[in-house]
Every structure is written in structure tokens, then in C-alpha cells.
Structure 1
């Protein structure tokens, strides 16, 4: 049961990371500063994702 919750947590973090990177890419064309902010936020999510034990 606990493994299921970890799996769903990993999936949700991965989706959040993907969404942030997509937003950063779209913003890079119009607002580079906001794009960098989104990239930094995505890096923090990626660190959490890597730190989550399987």
C-alpha cells in the first residue's frame, strides 16, 4: 500500500516538472526572466523527485 502512494507521488512530481518545463519553454520566447524562474522551480521539483525513494 505504501509503495502505491510513493508511486503516485513520483508520478505527480514528474507531471509537475514536465508542466513547468513546458511553461518555461513557452515563456522563453516572450519573457526570459519569467522563464528562468520557472526553470528554477522545475529544478527544485526535480531534486524532490530524485530524493523520493522508490
Structure 2
């Protein structure tokens, strides 16, 4: 109950962004491969930030 309003840590925020970006990659890969590659590169950058934490 008390965790309802707990602020998310930087790592949690990055993991959420990473998951969202991977979802976008999957959707884009069905339509536009070049866009999917760009999004995958962005997801990789987020993964690197997570590893540094």
C-alpha cells in the first residue's frame, strides 16, 4: 500500500523505456526495416545505460 506513490528509480525508468522501445522495434519490423534498425539501436543505448547503473 505504501509503495503506491514511491518514485521509480533511474534503473526502473530505463528498464521501462527499454521494454517500450523493444515493443516499437517489433511493430516497426513488420512495416519498415530501416526504422526498426534505428529503434533497435536506441534500445541498445538504453541497455548500455542500465548496465552502467
Name structure 1 gaps, 5 residues minimum.
Answer: none
Aligned residue-pair number = 48
Aligned residues: CA RMSD: 1.7
- Is 1:12 the counterpart of 2:13? The answer is yes
Greater length-normalized contact order (CA 8 Å, ≥ 6 residues apart): 1
Q: Tell me the equivalent position of 2:52.
A: 51
Q: Tell me the equivalent position of 1:40.
A: 41
**When the two structures are superposed, what TM-score results if normalisation uses the length of structure 1?**
0.82
Q: Which protein is richer in helix relative to its size?
A: 1
**When the two structures are superposed, what TM-score results if normalisation uses the length of structure 2?**
0.83
User: How far apart, CA to CA, are the structure 1 residues paired with 2:40 and 2:16?
Assistant: 14
Name structure 2 gaps, 5 residues minimum.
Answer: 1-6
